[in-house]
Chains A and B, each alone.
Chain A
């Protein structure tokens, strides 16, 4: 029996309530239930199930009844410290069979204010829940192809291949807008963070993202034009400068190998990426997802 979208969304709420109560006993778990947190298979009760202390306000839920997938991003408190989580549930026969959690406890880079930013936003931008007109909807495969084109753009970014973006597209990384964000640009230098995603990628700066691995697309909401992926961004640490397409050569600070484990949501309209939301968790280079 397939669950409808509202039933999946209710399961997501139930999961979060049980998580912060540290009481999985109330959850309808499948006999094959499996849990991973940050790539590791854990017993339910371990990891965030043993430390979560409260739910936050921000909640972004997407569901695909056809595959029984529901994915959410949210803010939680863990021993009273804020974390951002991207959580995927796989539902079979009305029961939760899979739980994949990417829990970002990162306060590195400019992500420190991310949880507070999300709490101030309270909810995702309205376009995420807008239903696209039936005549303009793309197929599941075409939506995945657009998301894949984004990863092709980012991997060894050289400015030559640019995924299709709407002009107003912004990307929210761990609660912080990393595009159209002039506050992160250094005074006196040409704008970079102030640009939109297409403008940033056209410069060829992200060449140090050396591989995007395990490109899984476990959820697509065709009606809303939303695609969710859980890949890894590998940084070999071997590329120390970027020759930008505007003629500048800029140093790259990534000197040591690491990977980002991510939960990434794309909103796609009329074949173009309209908005991106990402939960990023720094992990040892080459780590696997457990799925």
Chain B
């Protein structure tokens, strides 16, 4: 059960979606000077998705953080008949929206595979298994350090923990063979922890900036917006099996992925991870200032 403060924040998602569906930002309780970015570019409320949104799909996660006055929606949507994946962050001050940040993954992003949200993200964690919010953020930060350094360190993962990226599972999925396969190596078949040390993520030079938006101890959830920097210069890696494995085609050109990612924790261990991302020109700034929490560079 959401707390009353969470419920109040979640009403802003309701009104935002209603205004989007009406293509009418004048229905929003906007603070003066409120900013809107879509896929990191600042545009006017009313442009971009405001002109094309048709409705929500089946995938829908809503999370709130009263301590940070923040609320997020991760959802499948349609723009006219075209499917897309949507991540929305709102910051509320004095009952007005001061910041609205949207990522809309379009085209070949994988919207049709989103399905429905795993209820684990919104399920309350028993009090004895909760993780302090600062610790949860530190664990996600450590996780991204691990991505950068191909090292899982001492991070703990629930045996069933998997990660999905734009609707496609990317860990513990033996059926997935389109990338990271060579000789005896099969990257996607490995579990989330085992993947780190293989160097299969070494095309991700940096995860920066790291902007933490929500850390909710009650549900054990962290949501952030993260810049994945891919210079495109690493074309192969040598796997622990000794195989020389080609990087996937999307890693062979410079790009930045701006990713909204939700992490679920139980008893200090990662329980489930879901990422929604858009591909941007390499080096594109997220359009918002440096974060209050976690690393900035």
Contacts and interface: CB of A to CB of B under 8 A. Distances in A.
Interface of A: 37-42, 46-48, 50-51, 78-79, 81, 83, 105, 236-238, 240, 255-258, 283-288
A99 B172 CA distance: 44
Contacts of A237: 51-52, 79-80
Closest 8 CB pairs of A and B: A38-B281, A40-B283, A284-B39, A286-B41, A238-B51, A255-B80, A286-B43, A50-B233
11 contacts: A40-B283, A50-B232, A51-B253, A79-B235, A236-B48, A237-B51, A238-B51, A256-B84, A257-B52, A286-B42, A287-B281
A255 B81 contact: yes
Contacts of B79: 237, 255-256
Contact of B252 (A37, A41, A78, A255): A78
Contacts of B52: 236-238, 255-257
A77 to B, nearest CB: 11
B119 interface: no
Nearest to A43: B283
A46 B51 contact: no
B107 interface: yes
B260 to A, nearest CB: 15
Contact of B280 (A48, A81, A284): A284
B69 interface: no
A287 B41 contact: yes
B114 to A, nearest CB: 16
Contact of A240 (B49, B80, B283): B80
Interface in B11-64: 38-43, 47-49, 51-52
What is the predominant secondary structure among interface residues of chain B facing chain A? loop
A236 B42 CA distance: 14
Contacts of B107: 256
B276 to A, nearest CB: 15
A47 B41 CA distance: 20
Given A240-B80, A255-B81, A42 B282 contact: yes
B198 interface: no
A47 B79 CA distance: 32
B51 A284 contact: no
Contacts of B253: 51, 78-79, 81, 83, 105
Given A42-B283, A50-B232, A284 B254 contact: no
B169 interface: no
Contacts of A37: 254, 281-283
B41 A258 contact: no
A238 B49 CA distance: 10
A39 B254 contact: no
Contacts of A51: 231-233, 252-254
A1 B217 CA distance: 65
A288 B41 contact: yes
B150 interface: no
Given A81-B249, A284-B39, 11 more contacts: A37-B283, A40-B282, A47-B282, A78-B252, A236-B51, A238-B51, A284-B38, A284-B41, A284-B284, A286-B42, A287-B281
B96 interface: no
B189 interface: no
Contact of B281 (A40, A255, A257): A40
Contacts of A255: 52, 79-82
A39 B106 CA distance: 20
Contacts of B106: 256, 258
Nearest to B23: A238
Nearest to A83: B253
Nearest to A42: B283
Interface string B213-254: 000000000000000000111010000000000000100111
Name the residue in B43, B232, B281 with the highest tally of chain A Cβ atoms < 10 Å from its Cβ. B281
B43 A46 contact: no
Name the residue in B82, B84, B232, B249 with the highest tally of chain A Cβ atoms < 10 Å from its Cβ. B232
Contacts of B81: 255
Contacts of B40: 284
Interface in B259-296: 278, 280-285
A240 B80 CA distance: 9
Name the residue in A78, A257, A287 with the highest tally of chain B Cβ atoms < 10 Å from its Cβ. A257
